[in-house]
Structure 1
Amino acid sequence: MLYKFQSRAASDLLMLEPQGRRILEIIGKYGEDRRGILQTADMGGAIAALEAAIAQEEREAAEVAAQAQADNARGGENEEAVSLRQRATPFIDMLRRSQAAGKDVVWGV
């Protein structure tokens, strides 16, 4: 299943359901209904929430990396993952463009 985010100020953005759900949970817009709208007045708060979540994830990743480095010294494995920053950057860009143009962002599955 895919989430399709649309705005008249930016290109459409597609996300797989788990990543789209995580983004919507962070901005407080995930619920029973699989469709929604983010109005321009709410975009600043959504961007701030995403940036705070990214910063938190990066702090946690730094701690995990330090532990992994210690484990690697003992012969453990280091696993790479796609970060929230990589997943959320296109969405944040869409929000900034939409906010500047005064256009809402809508989504559906």
Structure 2
Amino acid sequence: MLITFKCKASPDIVMYKEHAQRILELLDKDVERGIIMHTDTTTAIATIEAAIADSRAHSVTEFVQHDITAHPQPSENGDHVHERVENVSFASRAFPFLQMLRAANAQGSEIVWGV
């Protein structure tokens, strides 16, 4: 499922629900519907920036790496081979939302979703 974040100060952002959920949980917001008021953007920016810094300090856990290697993908000839893993970091996923927060903060706007 997709979630669309809307803000008058920024273009819309469309994100998969499971990716948006982690960001919104950091902000104590419901993933289905919500609003971030202009007065809350400064705190939200600091929270997301801290989470990004924390995510950069920790590498992929052993559990995740085990899960990746335990589930090989079949090749064209039917052999099970492991595809090269390309992780998308939390920082990369959160960056557009962080930019929207900064624009909302600068222009005195709010961010809404699920409406």
Q: Aligning the two structures, in what range does the TM-score lie when normalised by the shorter sequence?
A: 0.7 to 0.9
> Take 1:30 and 1:58, find their aligned partners in 2: how far apart are those partners?
25
User: What 5-or-longer segments of structure 2 have no aligned partner?
Assistant: 66-83
Letter in 1 for 2:14: L
Tell me by how many angstroms 1:108 deviates.
Answer: 1.1
Tell me the equivalent position of 2:113: 107
Matched residue, 2:38: 40
- CA positional deviation for 1:30: 2.7
Deviates more, 1:43-52 or 1:22-31: 22-31
Distance in 2 (alpha carbons) for counterparts of 1:90 and 1:55: 16
The structural deviation recorded for 1:90 is 0.5
Which stretches in structure 1 are left out of the alignment for 5+ residues?
Answer: 69-77
**Cα distance in structure 1, aligned partners of 2:8 and 2:85:** 38
1:83 aligned residue:
89
Map 1:1-109 → 2, pairs under 5 A? 1-30=1-30, 34-61=32-59, 79-108=85-114
Percent of pairs with identical residues: 41
What number of residue pairs does the alignment pair up?
A: 95
C-alpha RMSD of the superposition: 2.1
Which 4+ runs in 1 deviate beyond 4 A? none
Task: Tell me the CA shift for residue 29 of structure 1.
Answer: 1.0
Residue 56 (structure 1) shift: 0.9
Shift of 1:27: 1.5
- Residues 10-43 of structure 1, C-alpha deviation per residue, up to 9 Å, x if partnerless? 1000000100111101122136xx1110001111
TM-score by length of 2: 0.74
The C-alpha deviation readout for 1:51-104, integer Å capped at 9, x for no partner, is 11111111112x86xxx9xxxxxxxxx843100110011101001111111111
What is the TM-score when the length of structure 1 is the normalising length?
0.78
Larger Rg: 2
In structure 2, what residue type is equivalent to 1:101? Q
